[in-house]
Structure 1
Amino acid sequence: MKNKALTLTVVASMTSNYGEGLGNVGSVQKVYKNGKAYAIRSRESMKNAIMVQSGLYDDLKVEQDGKVDQKAVSKDINVANNRALEGGYMSTIGDRKIRRSSFYLTDAISFYPFVNETRFHNNLYLAQTFAKENGINIQEKAANAGLMPYQYEYDKSLKRYSITIDLDKVGIDENYDTKAEKGERAYRVKALLNAIKNLSMVVRGNMDNAEPIFVVGGIGDKKTHYFENVVHIEANKLKIEEDLKAKLKEGYRAALLKGYNFENENEIEAELNAGSVDEFFANLSKEVDEYYESIEN
C-alpha cells in the first residue's frame, strides 16, 4: 500500500478573490482562455483558506529575514512537530532550507465566462455620524466628512479545483531527518479533508459557503490531479463521459450534494454511483486511517 496519493476534484459554488485595485474599484481575478475571461479563486487563496480552517496554521510561527516574513523553521521547529509547516517552507535564515508542500492545489476556475456584475457601496452612515458630531455639512463638504463611495466586481459561480496529497510525504522533514508519528500524519490529512468538506470564506465582509456540491477521487496510485480533465459542466449539467467513468473504476468514488445544483442529478447518481458528500468524506477518512496503520512508522 506504499507510494499512494489522495486526489480530489471538487465542484463548488464560490466567490472569486480580488486582484489589484484601481482607486476605489475592486477587480475580480481572472484567467483568459479561448478569447474569454473566467473568474478564479487562486490556488494561493485556496491553500491559505484550507490551512486556516483545517487548524494546521494554529501553531504557525513567523520570523523575519530583514523585512521579509517567513515561517519559522529550526531543528526544534520542523514539519514533524509543527503542523503549519505541512504546506511547505523556504527558510533563508542561516543555511537555506526548502521543504516542498506535501499537497498541491489548482486554481478554482469558473466553468462559465465572466459577466461583470458591479456592486456599488459607500460609508454614508459613518460619514453622517462623523459630520453630525463635528458640525460638517455633508452636502457641501463630503470629503471632510470622510464620505467614500466605492465599487467592486462580484462573482459567485460554479468553480472546479483539485487537490492532491502525497500521503508518503505528510509529516516528514528530510532537512532535519524527522518524521511525525503515524497517528499525527493521519490527523493532518483528515484535517485537510474536513476543511474541504466544510469550506467557507469571508469575502469583502460576506460569508461564502464553498462546500463541495460534487466531488470525485480517493486514494490511489496516481500522484496527480487525476480527475481535473474529466469534470466539466455544460448548460448546468455535469457531463458524464466514458473517460470519467473509466477513471472511477480504478477504485475511486464520486459524491453529490443533492439540491438541484445540477439538472441531471438522477443521471449523476445512476451513471457514477454517486453517494452523499457526508458518506464520501467519512469513508475517505477511514481509508486514511487504514493506510497509515498499514505502513511502518
Structure 2
Amino acid sequence: MKKGLTVSVIFKAQSLNYGEGFGNISELKKVSRGDGNQYTVASRQCIRYDIVRLGAEIFNWNLQVVDKSKGTVQFKDELTIADSQEMDLFGYMKTGKKTESSQGGSDTRSAVIKLSNAISLEPYRSDMDFLTNKGLADRINEHPNLANVEQHLSYYTYTFTIDLSRVGIDGEIEITNEEKCKRVLEFLEIVKILNRNIRGRQENLSPVFAIGGIYNIANPYFLGRIKLNSSKEGFKIDTKVIDDVLESTFLGNNIKDDTYVGINEGCFINKNKFEEKLGDRVLGVNSFFDNLIKFVKKYYGV
C-alpha cells in the first residue's frame, strides 16, 4: 500500500547559504517576490549535504560510494542502494561510457525523499557585516584586508516528502523492511537536530514548528502555505492558508484527519488557533516526530 509522509517545518537561523559574490562582498542567495521584497534561500542541496553529513557522523552512513572513473565525480557503478543510504533516499545518476557499439546513456534513480529549498519568512533588509583581519595584520604591522558580508537572521521554512513505498526498492533490488524502517527513522532523527556549519558558526536548523503526517499520496500539502505575521506581541503563523489545506480532500479523505502539528512553547503566540482546529493532535515538536516514528514503524511492520 502506498503511503506518503510529508512535513513542513519552521526553524530560526542566520545567513545560511552564500553565492559567489563580487569583489570583497559576500552575497547571500536570495529570491525576489512580487511584493517588492527579497527573501534569503538555503538551497535544497545544502540541506541535503548537512543531512548526509550528520547521517555519516551519527549513524555511520556509508559515504565511500563515489569515484571519477568516467571523468566526472559520481556514484560507483558496482554499488547499489543496498550499499548506500544516500543513494537510496536521495537518488543517483550513473552516466554510461560511450564505446564504438554504444552511445552510453544514464542509469538514474529519482529521490525517494524530496526536499524543497528553505526560504526565509522574513524579508532581507540589506543588513551587512563589515569584517577585517586586523588581529592578524597587527602582528606583522600590515594593513588589514576588508570584507563585507550580507547578514540575515530569520525564520525559515522548508518541506520534505517521503514516498514510503519506494524506500529500499530499486529494480530487482529490495532490502528488508527492518532496514527500510531504520533508514527513514534515522532521517527523521537527523531532521530533529539538523545543523549547519558555515563560516565558523554552527547554525541550529532544528524545527520549532512542524505540520504534516502520513497520507495516501506523497504530496507536499503545506509547501508554500507557511507564512508569518509579526506584531509587537510576537510572531504569528498565518493559519488562514493552512486552514484551507486542512479542509481539502483527496479521494474522499479529509487532509485534516491525518494531520498533526508540533510547536515549541514560546516561539509563536497563536498556538491556540491550531488547538482549536486540531485539538489533541497539536503536540510539542519532539512528540510530533515521535508520533511520525510510531506510524513509520507500523507501516513497515517493525
Residues 246-285 of structure 1 mapped to structure 2, 5 A cutoff: 246=247, 249-259=256-266, 261-273=267-279, 274-285=282-293
Indicate how the Cα distance of structure 1 residues 152 and 22 shifts in structure 2: closer, same or farther if over 3 A, else same: same
Question: What is the rounded CA distance, in whole Å, between the counterparts of 2:91 and 2:54 in structure 1?
Answer: 17
Structure 1 counterpart of 2:131:
121
Is the CA contact 1:57–1:84 (under 8 Å) kept in the aligned structure 2? no
- Give the TM-score of the pair, scaled to structure 1: 0.86
Aligned equivalent of 1:84:
86
The residue that corresponds to 1:224 in the other structure is 219
> What is the CA deviation profile of residues 244-279 of structure 1, one whole-angstrom value per residue up to 9, with x for unaligned ones?
4426523121110112x2122333344343111111
Aligned residue for 1:62? Answer: 66
Q: Which residue of 2 aligns with 1:198?
A: 193
Residue 237 to residue 48, structure 1, CA distance change in 2 (3 Å): same
Match of 1:170 in 2: 167
Structure 2 length-normalised TM:
0.85
Q: 5+ residue gaps in structure 1?
A: 132-136
Aligned-partner Cα distance in 2 for 1:71–1:124: 44
Cα distance in 1, alignment partners of residues 27 and 60 from structure 2: 28
Q: Tell whether the 8 Å contact from 1:238 to 1:268 is kept in structure 2 after alignment.
A: no
For 1:25 and 1:72, how far apart are their aligned partners in 2?
38
Cα distance change of structure 1 residues 213 and 187 upon mapping to structure 2, 3 Å threshold:
same
Q: Would the aligned equivalents of 2:114 and 2:162 in 1 still touch at CA under 8 Å?
A: yes
Which whole-Å deviations, capped at 9, do the CAs of 1:96-129 have from their partners, x for residues lacking one?
Answer: 3111111111111112221111111222222333
The 8 Å contact of residues 57 and 83 in structure 1, kept in 2 or not, is answered as no
Q: Which position in structure 2 is the counterpart of 1:134?
A: none
- 222-231 or 280-289: bigger deviation: 222-231
Which letter does structure 1 place at the counterpart of 2:75? K
Q: Structure 1 199/97 Cα, relative in aligned 2: closer, same or farther at 3 Å?
A: same
Please tell me the residue identity of whatever aligns with 2:30.
Answer: K
2:114 corresponds to: 104
Partners of 1:7 and 1:54 lie apart in 2 by 20
Please state how far the C-alpha of 1:20 moved relative to its aligned partner: 1.3
Match of 1:189, as an amino acid? V
Choose the corresponding residue for 2:154, options 153, 157, 160: 157
Question: Would you say how many aligned residue pairs link Structure 1 and Structure 2?
Answer: 275
Q: Which runs of 5+ in 2 are unaligned?
A: 98-103, 249-254
CA deviation profile, 1:178-236 (whole Å, cap 9, x unmatched): 11111111111111111111111112111111111110111111311111243322222
Counterpart for residue 53 of structure 1: 54
Rounded to whole Å, the distance in 1 between the matches of 2:66 and 2:207 is: 32
Alignment identity in percent?
Answer: 30
